[in-house]
Structure 1
Amino acid sequence: EDQSHKPLRQDPSRLLALILTRGDCTQRSNMPEPSDANKRQKPEDAAPAFSDTISNFAVEETLRFEAGGRLAVVLGKLDGRDCVLELKQRAALADPRALEDALPKLKLTLTNHSGAEYSYYAATDPTTGATYDLEAVWPAPERLVQRKRPAEICVVEETAEAYDRVVRPFAEAQAAKIGWIDAVCALEKERERNLHACDAFVVNVDTKWSTHGPFDADRATWRGADWTRDLYLLAISKDASLKSMRDLRGPDGAGLCRAMRAALLRCAADVYGVPATKLRVFFHYQPQFYRLHAHCTRAEHTNPGCECDRAHLLTTVAANLDLAPDYYARAPLTYKLRLGEKLHGLLSAGA
């Protein structure tokens, strides 16, 4: 069999506890013969990279530094050869009971507050020296408590009939409980987070963007700041009849999608220096709260809300409404639900 186009296999004996790789493992057999310094060791010649110190490692470049330093990948030289270190920070506490015992001792510094139920802190355990980014939700709604619990997941295909019969009444009941949204849209709350306001919607910094710099600082200092890597903006409709993308219709709905997307991208570029080519703009279905809102995050930012069964790009939604004005009144929509949450129970009972 011709092996000329197959990559050389990585030598498993060289994957260490720090997931450390040495040498160039991407050479192909039809490339020039590597020098002796870059030839892979045979398994019988392999040896651990370090003994009890790392002092002979010469740093060249930090390739990745993520999650506040909890994950780092560093490139350097060891004995004149390439060496890559991957470091993952271990948890300071070994089990839930130890964490529960430590909570009353934590020293907190408020770093951010949403103006509603979300507040954020830098927390330090004086006993262990461990530090935490702490998010507190108070008072915590029942739906949020359910979302935070471990649960079995099931996939639901919601037909137009199931929406009209079960989901629409549920969404209307939930929408009646979020009066705070109107205060945000009227700039009575979270005014310091507001980036844009017009007759149809507002654009705010999402409360999930916990690393955002001080809101009382000069906004010119926000542009290009390190923490813009976590960019998270939200466009919220002022129209209470729009609970989700299911309520969008025809040219008006398509126009709202395009206007929201344009405003989010403009705010990201003008305020934070993040170009449109680095961003995704999408609706959630089902949404976290029932007032139409669009999310804007960096393309490399991944979380469960970015998955294909929940995120719907505004460009696609607008195009679907161009093709069929009542597309989202008729289309089946597939999404995940947690077993035991209220909507799952309603859909199961109505099946």
Structure 2
Amino acid sequence: MNNTTSNTITEYSIIKNLVRDFKLDKVLESNPQTKTVSLLGKIKNEQAIIILEKLHFDENDYKHLTDLQLVKDIACNDIYHWGLIRFEEYGAVDEESRLNVKLNLIWPATEVHIKKYIEQKFHIIRETPEMYVTIVLPYIEEMHNNGRLNWVYNILYKDAELDRIIYKDPKEFVLLPDMKWSGEPEEIDALYLVAIVYRDDIRSIRDLRYKDRDWLIEIQDKIKQIVTCAYKIESDVLRIFVHYQPSYYHFHIHVVNVKQFGLKDGISVGKAILLDDIIENLKYMGEDGYKNRVITYIIGESHGLWERGLKDYRESKQNCSNDDIKEAKEEQIIIK
């Protein structure tokens, strides 16, 4: 046996023996989004910290999906289905404890769905009111006419996901867990709710006017009241926002725990807009609100709006030419 192999085995043995001596005192942090947990304890009467992290999926995890035996349904609505599964068979005391992976299924999936999840390039767009009328609005109308909102109407008017709904008032809105969250109380750090309003005249922030300001204030206050009572958390740990562009064009509000960082660009500048900021902005925009505003946001090349004309408005030019660089160097401005 060579020295490298011997050292590796020795190192593993040391770690294994140390972990066996670990006595847990408390959990410092458990993050359901980064899939990590930090534990404080003692090894031989000295404080020790262990950080556990679940590894990325590899091919062996998903190439045998059809062999899954354990599946627990969470909900089904139109083409959307989600539940809990487990890939590994070891270490489980009972079937329920073996459900360690949340599975979302979209079937049948459209080309729009495929483009949403594919890896893509992103660009910053400054959308003028004219661009909205000529490019975005026709796209919205198409989304409404091809059945893309059936699952929304199922929730609003056909009692879909009724067992998951937290609050429902046909004069206001319906509040329920988003499909990205299991809804389990023990995963409160990953809390993700969505409030869908009972108004068909508002599809996105573009339709918000000054007269809607008090309505938005009432909705936000009601959301905070409901969520704090239902989940026993403080209102100042709730991030309440909307998206532009949204994933579907019926006005809805996202409600997430401030510890929820697993939403990728869903909470990023250029996508998420705090409802507080929208309410404040409406105070100064005049009666037409967002109708005549230039709105800056990030959009991917796979989004339907990109090929419909937004790509023609990208800022693709270089801001610094070779002559500019030469002139800057002569003026002793450092450019690396």
TM-score range, shorter chain: 0.7 to 0.9
Secondary structure of residue in 2 paired with 1:234:
strand
Instruction: Tell me what 1:249 maps to.
Output: 209
Report the CA distance shift for 1:288/1:57 in structure 2 as closer, same or farther (over 3 A): same
Tell me whether 1:109 sits opposite 2:71 in the alignment. yes
Long gaps (5+) in structure 2: 1-7, 92-97, 314-336
TM-score scaled by length of structure 1: 0.74
- 2:247 and 2:119 map into 1 onto residues whose CA distance is 17
Q: Is the 8 A contact 1:153 1:339 kept in 2?
A: yes
Contact 1:206 1:233 in 2 (8 A): yes
- Tell me: CA distance 1:125–1:339, structure 2 relative to 1, closer, same or farther (3 Å): same
Which of residues 276, 287, 306 is equivalent to 2:267? 306
Whether 1:281 and 2:240 are equivalent positions in the alignment is yes
Q: CA deviation at 1:290?
A: 0.3
Question: CA separation in 1, counterparts of 2:127 and 2:271?
Answer: 12
Match of 1:182 in 2: 153
Gaps of 5+ in 1: 1-16, 18-46, 214-224
Partner of 1:84: 49
Aligned residue for 1:323, secondary structure, equals coil
Residue 344 in structure 1 maps to residue 306 in structure 2: yes
2:142 and 2:300 mapped to 1: Cα distance?
19
Task: Determine which structure has greater relative contact order: mean sequence separation of CA pairs < 8 Å that are 6+ residues apart, divided by chain length.
Answer: 2
Q: State how 1:123-272 maps to structure 2 within 5 Å.
A: 123-125=85-87, 131-176=100-145, 177=147, 178-213=149-184, 225-251=185-211, 253-272=212-231
Q: Write out per-residue CA displacement over residues 31-75 of structure 1, whole angstroms, 9 at most, x where no aligned residue.
A: xxxxxxxxxxxxxxxx99945422233322221223389412112
- 8 Å Cα contact 1:278-1:299 kept in structure 2: yes
CA separation of 1:105 and 1:197: change in aligned 2, threshold 3 A: closer
How big is the shift at 1:319? 1.6
Cα gap change, 1:118/1:282 in structure 2, threshold over 3 Å: closer, same or farther? Answer: same
Q: 1:153, 1:336 within 8 Å by CA — same for their partners in 2?
A: yes
**Which residue type is aligned with residue 113 of structure 2?**
L
Query: Shift of residue 79 of structure 1?
Result: 4.2
In structure 2, how many angstroms separate the alpha carbons of the residues matched to 1:81 and 1:246? 59
Structure 1 pair 301–148 and aligned structure 2 pair: CA distance change class (3 A): same
Instruction: Call closer, same or farther: CA 1:248–1:68 in 2, change over 3 Å.
Output: closer
Measured after TM superposition, the shift of residue 263 of structure 1 is 2.0
The answer on 1:71 being equivalent to 2:13 is no
Greater Cα offset, 269-278 or 120-129: 120-129
CA distance in 2, matches of 1:183, 1:111: 18
Shift of 1:342: 1.4
Q: Pick the structure with more helix per residue.
A: 2
TM-score by length of 2: 0.77
Q: Is the 8 A contact 1:166 1:350 kept in 2?
A: no
Q: What is the alpha-carbon root mean square deviation over aligned residues? A: 2.8
